[in-house]
Structure 1
Amino acid sequence: MQLFLQYDFLRKIFRAVCRVIIIIFCVVSLYQIVRIFVFDQFVIPSNSMMPTLCPGDRVIVNKLHLGARIYTDFDFRSEGNQLESIRLKGLRRLRHNDVVVFNFPINNGRIAFKINYVYCKRIMGLPGDTIRITDGFYKSNNFSGELGIPRRQRQLTVYGVNPEVYEGWGVGPEQIGWNCLNAGPWYIPRCGDIVRIGCKEGYLYKDILEYETGKRVTVDDSLRRVYVGDRRIEQYEFIHDYYFAAGDNAYDSYDSRYWGLVPEEYIVGVVDLISYSKDPYSGKLRFDRMLKKI
């Protein structure tokens, strides 16, 4: 009788442990499914999106708008490599002024995917837009409203570009004659667009052309020619959508003005909410920023 009671007790313990394991497994699986398909959380590390986002903000990134990105190859290298993924159908396209999280596209001097290396910026230019910067202010031919935070862009006319961080316009040499106060017009490529490629376009789209063709792009200024590999090109049909992304803190943001455009497949999702915020220096919670909608 005593042995039977001991056996029955152990069997109950075993069943209870199995239930706990199953519950933990289901919770962890559900959490991972939600992170992959619905939303994820990221920490804001810098001042580049001030005052919209502060260092220490935990932001909720909605993946349903654009559609979740599913990796088809998990060969993630520290130096960056070709991104292999598919995009599920989303609820809508990206819009002007959306705040997005994306994998930083430029690694080792080329467009290459690096996992868990993400930036947060605002969408200033969509595929098919022509964007300009005039006296520090962003303008798009397809959007009549304000892009970003004009009072922050106005700081550029007062202080200029932060000399400790940035020097000049990063996507092309001095021949283009652009800077962060005045630049453009710059056409943002859209999948299927055929664009004439001269020397200026060769400089502006160099990283994109190398990304799409897998070949080195060279610009011969003396002959006014652009080469992809050994072949001269005068026009090109783009096979991806691209975006111009910039920080709200225009004076101190490392963004598309310096390193170029963001391929759509590099975008993780749209920032909808600050879940909570913690001061990175004191560690104190900022209760006034909790559950703040973007």
Structure 2
Amino acid sequence: MWYLIFAVLTAVSLYGLWLLFKKAGKQGWEAIVPVYREYVLAQLVGSPTWWIVWLFVPIVNVFIFYGFYLDFIKSFGKRRFWENAAAVLVPFIVLPLWGRDAHVKYLGQTNTEAFKKKYPYKKTVAREWADAIIFATIAASLIRGFLIEAYMIPSGSMERTLLVGDFLFVSKLNYGPRIPNTPIAFPFAHHTMPITGGKAYSEWIELPYKRLPGFQQIKRNDVVVFNYPVEADAPFNRPVDKRENYIKRAVAIPGDVVEMHQGILMVNGKPGFGSNDVQSAYYVYTDERGLDLNILKDKRFEYNLVQDQNGNVAAYLLLVTKDEIEEVKRWSNVKQVVPYANESPAFPKDSQYNWDFHNFGPITIPKKGDTVPLNALTLPLYHRLITVYEGHKLENRADGIYIDDAKADSYKIQMDYYWMMGDNRDNSLDSRDFGFVPEDHVVGKALFTWLSYDTDGTFLSKIRWNRIFKGIN
């Protein structure tokens, strides 16, 4: 229905533009031919015609088109703020009206000195400020939505690859920018209004998932920003693009087989991503001296105190890298180090599987076009995928499984999916909890750190200078 409404409104807008082209001495059909239309517009407003080459540059083409378009509107004497705003927001109303109004005439090329002298127009201070604010808002929103966005690391789930207080640039272009599902939204707010709270977006218009072409596909082990899938559920019930942003590593991509045994990640039968920055949890038992907490803080070791029934410290739970735990083992007051067994229930959290964060799989990551069997064993794996992510009605009736009221013993996957995990393996809420991440949830690729701020640092060490402009691997 939305496509039909959009098509009708576009046709009416083009009809209005057709009429204005005829008033300007051109053929009406020239108004409906992309690129050639902009070439003619450049002539009608007195801009260099070679500027049409910018139409082939994403995002820049938006500014070029609207520059030509608004200058063309001004060539008919429509230079007031509300007239420009109406030409952008409701062209299907004002363009036909102006096109059929005998009093609206083409006055000439707006960007020539002769036109400016003949039809002088001075903007008020308020108009100057309004134009500047609107232009800056539109430009920043387009850059943020389609090119690159700043992102701050709020938690330690990617330690030590990414640190709390790291500020990143996330590229939308690498995997292709998404068309917003909810295009009506408050500028620069994600899902909640600043100060006042409440929704920062409207669901009056919800567009289907569409991604523009990108430079690359997601590669195994890329660090990816994506929307938190669980916020599809109550109490949030948010559209895909308004769900909270998460950042993890895509340790498995569509078609991969992923599993974990005693905390060791395996992908396609081989060891999965591992580096010196990957952290795991260990119980550290000491003699009566215990560990010096100031030393742990100085070394930026994450830790928790494990207390006995009397409230005394029985052990220390450290989240550190392999090299760091080897250093801890050499400390004179350390008696024993035991790897932490993370037994948190893992996806799909079903008694038939009984998986946990350290032991799960093997599980095949769904790939677009693949057909998977549906039965009592596989249904826990694919139920959410079919119903929540791909929008089908699924029922498990007495005589079998039904999808959209049709009996089915298999299902064809409609999107690619990914398995996302944090590098801080025992302090990360990731695919082990919520399962597959659909491609329509992918926001972009983390590129580099442009600033890193350490809240625990001293006055002179608040800024981690060695992390500025550091690439993310």
The TM-score bracket by the shorter chain reads: 0.7 to 0.9
Counterpart contact for 2:253–2:418, Cα < 8 Å: yes
2: CA distance, partners of 1:231 / 1:135: 41
Aligned match for 2:436, one of 244, 249, 261: 261
Aligned to 2:230: 106
How far has the Cα of 1:213 moved from its partner?
Answer: 4.1
Identity fraction in percent? 30
C-alpha deviations, 1:45-73, integer Å up to 9, x for none?
11100001111111111111110011154
Asked if 1:204 corresponds to 2:384, the answer is no
Higher relative contact order (CA 8 A, sep 6+): 1
How far has the Cα of 1:100 moved from its partner?
Answer: 0.6
Aligned to 2:265: 138
Asked if 1:31 corresponds to 2:150, the answer is no
How far has the Cα of 1:267 moved from its partner?
Answer: 0.5
Counterpart contact for 2:229–2:243, Cα < 8 Å: no
Helix, strand or coil: the match of 2:426? Answer: helix
Counterpart contact for 2:421–2:431, Cα < 8 Å: yes
Aligned ranges 1:234-249 → 2 under 5 Å: 234-249=409-424
Asked if 1:215 corresponds to 2:393, the answer is yes
Select between 54-63 and 167-176 the one with higher mean Cα deviation.
Answer: 167-176
Aligned residues: 276
Tell me which protein shows more strand as a share of its residues: 1
1: CA distance, partners of 2:440 / 2:405: 28
Aligned match for 1:65, one of 169, 174, 191: 174
1: CA distance, partners of 2:262 / 2:238: 29
How far has the Cα of 1:291 moved from its partner?
Answer: 1.2
Asked if 1:191 corresponds to 2:368, the answer is yes
2: CA distance, partners of 1:253 / 1:52: 13
Aligned to 1:8: none
In structure 2, the CA distance between the partners of 1:75 and 1:170, relative to structure 1 (3 Å rule), is farther
In structure 2, the CA distance between the partners of 1:153 and 1:227, relative to structure 1 (3 Å rule), is farther
1: CA distance, partners of 2:243 / 2:339: 36
1: CA distance, partners of 2:470 / 2:397: 48
Counterpart contact for 1:209–1:217, Cα < 8 Å: no
Counterpart contact for 2:258–2:362, Cα < 8 Å: yes
2: CA distance, partners of 1:145 / 1:65: 27
2: CA distance, partners of 1:153 / 1:286: 20
1: CA distance, partners of 2:238 / 2:137: 34
In structure 2, the CA distance between the partners of 1:194 and 1:176, relative to structure 1 (3 Å rule), is same
Asked if 1:160 corresponds to 2:335, the answer is no
Considering only CA atoms, is the larger Rg found in Structure 1 or Structure 2? 2
Tell me which protein shows more helix as a share of its residues: 2
Counterpart contact for 1:60–1:272, Cα < 8 Å: yes
2: CA distance, partners of 1:35 / 1:99: 19
TM-score between both structures, scaled by the size of structure 2: 0.51
TM-score between both structures, scaled by the size of structure 1: 0.80
Which segments of 5 or more consecutive residues in structure 2 lack a partner in the other structure?
A: 1-119, 186-190, 192-198, 283-337
Counterpart contact for 2:181–2:239, Cα < 8 Å: no
Helix, strand or coil: the match of 1:87? Answer: coil
Aligned to 1:125: 252
2: CA distance, partners of 1:84 / 1:154: 40
Counterpart contact for 1:206–1:217, Cα < 8 Å: no
In structure 2, the CA distance between the partners of 1:276 and 1:150, relative to structure 1 (3 Å rule), is closer
Which letter does structure 1 place at the counterpart of 2:254? P
How far has the Cα of 1:236 moved from its partner?
Answer: 0.7
C-alpha deviations, 1:134-168, integer Å up to 9, x for none?
221222228x564144774664881112x7xxx31
Aligned to 1:5: none
Which segments of 5 or more consecutive residues in structure 1 lack a partner in the other structure?
A: 1-10
Select between 47-56 and 80-89 the one with higher mean Cα deviation.
Answer: 80-89
Aligned to 1:89: 213
In structure 2, the CA distance between the partners of 1:114 and 1:280, relative to structure 1 (3 Å rule), is farther
C-alpha deviations, 1:90-111, integer Å up to 9, x for none?
1110001100111101122689
